[in-house]
Amino acid sequence: MSGTSSTRSGRELTITGIGLRRVDGRWFGLKSLRLLNLRDNLLGEAPDFSTKFLNIVRLQNLQMLILA
């Protein structure tokens, strides 16, 4: 199944299989985020991916990151 979803509490964000190529900086403002699922997308293809994704350290409550 592909698409997007989130929980009411803002603890989980799933964006899968939609061909996403860019990191959205708003994700890194979700302070209570525990699960970020971005599998089956094209994020690594954007030239600025590695630089923008360094902001992942701002998600201090993140327990699980799924990229592949």
**pLDDT tens by residue, 19-68:** 999 888 899 999 999 999 999 999 988 888 888 889 999 999 999 999 98
Q: Domain limits at 48?
A: 3-66
Residues 6 or more apart in contact with residue 36 via CB below 8 angstroms: 12, 13, 27, 59, 62, 64, 65, 66
pLDDT of residue 60: 96
Question: What's the pLDDT at 49?
Answer: 86
The values of phi and psi at residue 36, to 5°, are: -125, 110
Number of domains in the chain: 1
